[in-house]
């Protein structure tokens, strides 16, 4: 199938984009890398009146370290995140997980912010953003809002973003040597969307691990912090029991990739691997 007819705006500034939002309302749709949107247009799952291409707006792209926070511009390509020394040094969880996002050709065009705004429940970056306690900067003509990742994702491809807002920047606290992290994903082939995955962070203390932020993705409608895991001060001997409890607490969606029971079993295995990794300093390179 071919996309239905639409107007195309090559926005040179945020103001040009805001003008289109004002004129067309939610009939104006942002185009970033196009790796999710273009298939949706071609399948006519989306039929917007106008595509607002934000790629020319240079201020929306790039990676900088400011006050121990990584600021990633929304239109930074997946490939540039994957190749950035700053990411490898300061955000190793993202550095590891981004290599699992799609295949090379898609990573060359797809953007970090596009992946978050699209909010596919099986996508890696939303889960990592929640595990890392990221803050999303959303700008409209009238105001700037900062929304925690954990509050941004509302459901399957549904977010807190308003139709007149651009996701401009993603702020992520740099990881330190006291921060443990783990990432595991099960997919049919490397680069495919996850059947199930786990992203986790925790603080290392002499007594064990605290502040565990464990997120299962590809399973429920949105990435969320496991309350059961977060409420526990974790010791290694409890990991198996905790993995079972966290998996039991999930509400997996059955889909073409597997039924709820299968996903729960897959999730339990990955949760346990992630918990094991958290205890081993340097397990993740
Ligand atoms: C074959 C295939 C395999 C894939 N595998 C994976 C995978 O394994 N893991 C994974 O995570 N992804 C995967 N993807 C998706 C890919 O990562 C996309 O790049 C990503 O989901 C969307 O990013 P984009 O820049 O292409 O956004 P677009 O497709 O341009 O936009 C997606 C949506 O986000 C909105 N949007 C984009 N940017 C902004 C912004 N700055 N502010 C507000 N709204 C915005 C758009 O309006 C649109 O609704 C795959 C895609 C394909 C085609």
Confidence of residue 285 (pLDDT cuts 50, 70, 90): very low
Reported pTM: 0.96
pLDDT value of residue 282: 56
Pocket lining for ligand 1, CB < 6 angstroms: 29-37, 39, 74, 101-102, 106, 110-111, 113-115, 117-118, 123-125, 161, 166-167, 191-193
Ligand 1 center to 224 CA (angstroms): 20
For the domain made up of 61-173, give the CATH fold: 3.30.465
Residue closest to 154 by CA, chosen among 218, 224, 216, 217: 224
Residue closest to 222 by CA, chosen among 133, 147, 158, 174: 158
Closest ligand 1 atom to residue 125 Cα is 11
Ligand 1 center to 191 CA (angstroms): 14
Give the separation between CA 38 and CA 41, rounded to whole angstroms.
5
The three-state (H, E, C) secondary structure of the chain, written as one string: CCCCCCEEEECCCHHHHHHHHHHHHHHEEEECCCCCHHHHHHCCCCCCCEEEECCCCHHHCCEEEECCEEEEECCCEHHHHHHCHHHHHHCHHHHHHHHHCCCHHHHHHCEHHHHHHHCCCCCHHHHHHHHCCCEEEEECCCCEEEEEHHHHEEECCEECCCCCCEEEEEEEECCCCCEEEEEEEECCCCCCCCCEEEEEEEEEECCEEEEEEEEEECCCCCCCECHHHHCCCECHHHHHHHHHHHHHCCCCCCECCECHHHHHHHHHHHHHHHHHHHHCCCCCC
Give the separation between CA 159 and CA 152, rounded to whole angstroms.
5
Q: What is the pLDDT of residues 11-34, one digit of tens each?
A: 999 999 999 999 999 999 999 999
For the stretch 210-240, what's the b/e string if a residue is b when 16 or more beta carbons lie within 10 angstroms of its beta carbon?
A: eebbbbbbbbbbbbbbbebbeebebeeeebe
Closest ligand 1 atom to residue 36 Cα is 29
**Tokens encoding 31:** 């185009």
Exposure of 285 by Cβ count < 10 A (0-12 exposed, 13-18 middle, 19+ buried)? exposed
Longest dimension (CA), the chain: 61
Q: Whose CA is nearest to atom 3 of ligand 1?
A: 102
pLDDT value of residue 281: 63
Segment 170-188 shows an average pLDDT of 95
Closest ligand 1 atom to residue 100 Cα is 8
Give the separation between CA 95 and CA 80, rounded to whole angstroms.
11
Confidence of residue 78 (pLDDT cuts 50, 70, 90): very high
Per the prediction, the chain carries an average pLDDT of 94
Probe target for ligand 1 pocket from 27, 54, 114, with the most ligand atoms within 8 Å of CB: 114
Residue closest to 242 by CA, chosen among 224, 227, 223, 253: 227
Probe target for ligand 1 pocket from 21, 32, 74, 80, with the most ligand atoms within 8 Å of CB: 32
Closest ligand 1 atom to residue 32 Cα is 30
Check: CB of residue 34 under 8 Å from CB of residue 106. Answer: no
Segment 136-161 shows an average pLDDT of 98
Closest ligand 1 atom to residue 39 Cα is 53
Confidence of residue 283 (pLDDT cuts 50, 70, 90): low
Closest ligand 1 atom to residue 75 Cα is 41
**Tokens encoding 62:** 């790039």
Q: What is the pLDDT of residues 270-280, one digit of tens each?
A: 999 999 999 87
Probe target for ligand 1 pocket from 34, 49, 60, 118, with the most ligand atoms within 8 Å of CB: 118
Tell me which of 1.10.10.10, 3.40.50.2300, 3.30.43.10, 1.20.1250.20 is the CATH number of domain 7-53: 3.30.43.10
Ligand 1 center to 33 CA (angstroms): 7
Partnered with residue 77 across adjacent β-strands are: 111
**Residue bearing tokens 């998996």:** 247
Q: Whose CA is nearest to atom 47 of ligand 1?
A: 30
Residue range 179-279 forms a domain whose CATH class is alpha beta
Indicate the domain borders of the chain: 7-53, 61-173, 179-279
**Tokens encoding 234:** 């974790």
Q: Whose CA is nearest to atom 40 of ligand 1?
A: 167
Q: C-alpha 97: how far from its chain's center? A: 10
Confidence of residue 102 (pLDDT cuts 50, 70, 90): very high
């Amino acid at each position: 199938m071919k996309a239905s007819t639409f107007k195309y705006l090559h926005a040179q500034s945020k103001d040009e984009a805001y003008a289109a939002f004002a004129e067309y309302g939610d009939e104006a749709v942002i185009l970033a890398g196009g790796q999710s949107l273009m298939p949706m247009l071609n399948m006519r799952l989306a039929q917007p009146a106008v595509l607002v291409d934000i790629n020319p707006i240079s201020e929306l792209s790039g990676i900088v370290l400011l006050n121990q926070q990584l600021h990633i511009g929304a239109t930074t390509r997946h490939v540039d995140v994957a190749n950035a020394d700053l990411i490898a040094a300061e955000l190793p969880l993202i550095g590891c997980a981004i290599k699992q996002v799609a295949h090379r050709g898609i990573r060359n065009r797809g953007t970090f912010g596009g992946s978050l705004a699209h909010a596919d429940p099986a996508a890696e970056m939303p889960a990592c953003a929640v595990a890392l306690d990221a803050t999303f900067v959303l700008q409209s003509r009238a105001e700037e809002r900062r929304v925690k990742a954990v509050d941004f994702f509302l459901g399957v491809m549904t977010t807190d973003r308003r139709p007149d807002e651009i996701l401009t920047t993603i702020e992520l606290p740099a990881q330190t040597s006291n921060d443990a992290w783990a990432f595991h994903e099960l997919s049919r082939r490397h680069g495919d969307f996850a059947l199930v995955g786990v992203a986790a962070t925790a603080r290392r203390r002499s007594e064990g691990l605290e502040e565990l932020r464990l997120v299962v993705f590809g399973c429920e409608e949105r990435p969320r912090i496991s309350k059961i895991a977060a409420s526990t001060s974790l010791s290694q001997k409890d990991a198996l029991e905790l993995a079972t409890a966290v998996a039991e607490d999930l509400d997996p969606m059955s889909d073409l990739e597997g039924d709820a029971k299968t996903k729960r079993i897959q999730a339990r295995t990955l949760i346990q691997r992630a918990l094991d990794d958290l205890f081993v300093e340097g397990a993740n390179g």
